[in-house]
Every structure is written in structure tokens, then in C-alpha cells.
């Protein structure tokens, strides 16, 4: 096998047959014993149907030095804490869930393998760097700015959402292989979100969060764009969008 140009392996838990924890350990043992490259485990029970428990993860990490990290996407912060508390020093926990990344890094995770970072790398990576420096309040503001987008990107499956967003930003064609099909969640959905919540969100402060998300998506090079001006721009975009539907 030609391994040139490959720095490591991301190895997902076996899916469909739902092995025991011992079965998971033996599976990754077999991979670790023959792999010429560092291995990052990938635990994502929502896709595989099986959750690798913290004690199994830490057992693998202790027994095989070439298993260097886990992309943890169980959705459980309690599980993340257990791994971080008991792991060996040379083993990293990496977030596999954008929406939990802020909390995971605050708990000691080493970073993230991100979906949203493909479209908005500057802002999302800034959040991580701020946390590493202990500047949690500005990092939290970036995290909250992405709250609406975290959910929207997964409405029709991943990577359909982020590809639609990248298409809206003019970077790629919105094409996927079956069984995934293209979705359009970008600027139009985000605008709809603002206008449908216009009344109540102005009162409770959510409008600013939504406007910030729109600004990050539509105007990433204008970080200090006035919210009032942005709202007027969004109104114009909504008018154009509605005319295009007639």
C-alpha cells in the first residue's frame, strides 16, 4: 500500500453490527498493530449505532501509543469529561460536534474536526484560539453567533448543508452523490429565520444573534458592519427573493 502523502488515519467505530466494548477494543487493536501511521479514533454513535465508552477509549489509548487521539461525537459532555480525566498524557480528545466544541475545549479538548469550519474557518478557528488563551467571553460570543447555523447545516444531512452554504458563498457547485441530495439552506433560510422572528427576537435580544450569524456568512470581511445597515440589506435581499418567486 502506498501511504505517501498521508499523515494519519481517522478510523470510525464499526457500524451496523453493534459490537460489544471488547469487540471494539479488539477491532482497534488489530488496526493499531498493523498501521504504519498514527490513528485517530472516531466515535459517532448517531451514525454507527454503537457508543464506545470512555473506559474502552482510554484502554485503547494506554495500550497502543500509535493511537494518538479520538474524534469524540457522542454528544455527551459527561463522556468527554471522563475521557479527558482518565486518558494518558500523549492522547488528545478532539471535538467531532461543532455545537459542543466551545464546551469541549473549555473542558480540555485539544481542538475540533469541524463541519462549519469548512465554510467559516476564520471565525470558528478564532473561537478555538480565544479559548486556548483563556479568553472565554469573546469565544462564547462567537459560539452563540453560530447557534442557528449549527442546526441548519444538518437539516438535510451532512455534508449537504455545508455544501449548500459554500455554494451560496460562491466557492463550489451544490452537487452531492446519492443518497444525499442538494439542499438550499444558506442565505435564503438565514434571512427567513430573521424575518420570521422579527417581533419577539427584537424584544429578547435574539435578533442580534441572528444578525451576527448573517453578517458572518454574507459579509465575513466586514466584521464591524452596523446591525441597522445589515438589517436594511437583508430587507432588500428578502424583497429580491420574494420577487424571484413570483
Positions annotated as catalytic residues are 42, 71
H or E element, residue 10: strand 9-12
- Say which residues have a Cβ less than 8 Å from residue 150's Cβ, sequence separation at least 6: 98, 99, 116
Q: How far apart are the first and last CA of the chain?
A: 57
| Three cell numbers, residue 242 | 420574494
> Which of helix, strand or coil describes residue 70?
strand
d(CA 43, CA 140): 25
Closest-CA residue to 146 (of 121, 171, 113, 179): 121
Amino acid at each position: 500500500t502506498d501511504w505517501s502523502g498521508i499523515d494519519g488515519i481517522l478510523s470510525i467505530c464499526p457500524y451496523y453490527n453493534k459490537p460489544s466494548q471488547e469487540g471494539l477494543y479488539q477491532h482497534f487493536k488489530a488496526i493499531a498493530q498493523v498501521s504504519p501511521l498514527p490513528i485517530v479514533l472516531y466515535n459517532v454513535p448517531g451514525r454507527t449505532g454503537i457508543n464506545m465508552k470512555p473506559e474502552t477509549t482510554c484502554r485503547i489509548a494506554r495500550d497502543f501509543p500509535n493511537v494518538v487521539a479520538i474524534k469524540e461525537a457522542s454528544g455527551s459532555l459527561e463522556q468527554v469529561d471522563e475521557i479527558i480525566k482518565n486518558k494518558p498524557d500523549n492522547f488528545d480528545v478532539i471535538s467531532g460536534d461543532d455545537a459542543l466544541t466551545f464546551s469541549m475545549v473549555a473542558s480540555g479538548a485539544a481542538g475540533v474536526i469541524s463541519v462549519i469550519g469548512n465554510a467559516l474557518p476564520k471565525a470558528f478557528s478564532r473561537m478555538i484560539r480565544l479559548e486556548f488563551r483563556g479568553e472565554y467571553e469573546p469565544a462564547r460570543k462567537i459560539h452563540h453567533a453560530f447557534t442557528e447555523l449549527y442546526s441548519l447545516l444538518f437539516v438535510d444531512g451532512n455534508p449537504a448543508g455545508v455544501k449548500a452554504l459554500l455554494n451560496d458563498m460562491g466557492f463550489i457547485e451544490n452537487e452531492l452523490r446519492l443518497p444525499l441530495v442538494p439542499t438550499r439552506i444558506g442565505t435564503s433560510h438565514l434571512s427567513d429565520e430573521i424575518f420570521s422572528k422579527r417581533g419577539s427576537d427584537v424584544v429578547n435580544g435574539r435578533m442580534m444573534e441572528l444578525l451576527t450569524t448573517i453578517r458572518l456568512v454574507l459579509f465575513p470581511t466586514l466584521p464591524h458592519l452596523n446591525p441597522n445597515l445589515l438589517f436594511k440589506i437583508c430587507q432588500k435581499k428578502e424583497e429580491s427573493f420574494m420577487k424571484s418567486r413570483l
